[in-house]
Amino acid sequence: MEPVPGTTELLRSLRESGAGDVEGALRELAGRVADVVPSCVGVSLSVAHGGLTFTLASTSDDTAGLDAVQYLAGGPCVETALEDVEIELGDLLDEERWQRFAVAAAASGVRSTLSLPLSVPGMGPGSVNVYAADEHAFVGTRDALREIVGEGVDVAVTNADLPFRTRTAAAAGPQNLRALDVVEQAVGYLMASEQLDADRARARLTEAAERAGTDLVTVARTLVGGG
């Protein structure tokens, strides 16, 4: 499958960005974040390129799924990466701006998030996105987290396809009826909420999965779980 429109230039940038282990760097950063925020359940690293936001790495499929919902419906990781602003959502149950993301996150056991701007060497602006199980988990910790993120991470990438390492899985049809059902539920949800036809809704789900580096079923389950 060819990359979705808008990703060709990003893939070229990744090829030219040099050596480094982005997933290893993220794991190290996530460990330091967890020392400061004990209820941290996930961390992702996003980059903005060509007007789109992509997940370079995440600590779990669940975390990538929450990124993907934001690529579908908007959210703090997108806003931070594109606008270079710090965004804290202290209690997702009170969130009004990004309600679809907030409901999906709460259904996944996430009650608060923090997205911090980060410049990705050789690529441009990005964000570190922290997901926590407790509400108001970042009270009194933001200075420490800014210091951790401000020290930067070595995110140069050797594998040009890293953000799209599951492109084939994202595009592949579900392997069982239960998975097919949840994907069709997500397609129907997008058709109703976004006034899309079935083909466009399915394409939106697939693109979100590709940009988040996860599979189609994970994105569908995350969306439907909060729907």
pLDDT at 149: 82
The answer to whether residues 208 and 69 touch, using CB atoms and an 8 Å cutoff, is yes
What is the pLDDT confidence band of residue 178, given thresholds at 50, 70 and 90? low
Beta strands 40-49; 112-120: pairing state:
unpaired
Here the tokens at position 164 are 């799209």
pLDDT in tens, 110-122: 999 999 998 766 6
Same domain, 124 and 206: no
Same domain, 18 and 76: yes
Residue 158 phi, psi (nearest 5)? -95, -30
Same domain, 213 and 128: no
For 161, counting Cβ atoms within 10 Å of its Cβ (0-12 exposed, 13-18 middle, 19+ buried), the class is: middle
Same domain, 179 and 126: no
Q: In 3-state terms, the chain is what percent helix, strand and coil (to 5)?
A: 50, 15, 30
Same domain, 32 and 104: yes
Tell me how long the chain is: 227
pLDDT in tens, 198-224: 888 888 888 888 888 888 888 888 988
Same domain, 104 and 186: no
Same domain, 94 and 130: yes
The residue assigned the tokens 């009650």 is: 111
Task: Specify the DSSP element, H or E, that contains 123.
Answer: none
Report the CATH number at residue 196: 1.10.10
Same domain, 57 and 150: yes
The answer to whether residues 46 and 126 touch, using CB atoms and an 8 Å cutoff, is yes
The answer to whether residues 201 and 210 touch, using CB atoms and an 8 Å cutoff, is no
Average of per-residue pLDDT across 32-47:
92
Report the CATH number at residue 30: 3.30.450.40
For 107, counting Cβ atoms within 10 Å of its Cβ (0-12 exposed, 13-18 middle, 19+ buried), the class is: middle
80 DSSP β-pair partners = none
Here the tokens at position 208 are 């979100």
Domain presence at residue 209 = yes
Judged against a pLDDT cut of 90, whether residue 43 lies above it is answered with yes
Same domain, 70 and 176: no
Residue 59: HSE in the Cβ half-sphere, 13 Å Cα cutoff: 19
What percent of the chain is predicted at pLDDT more than 90?
36
Answer with the one of 128, 162, 196 that is the final residue of a domain.
162
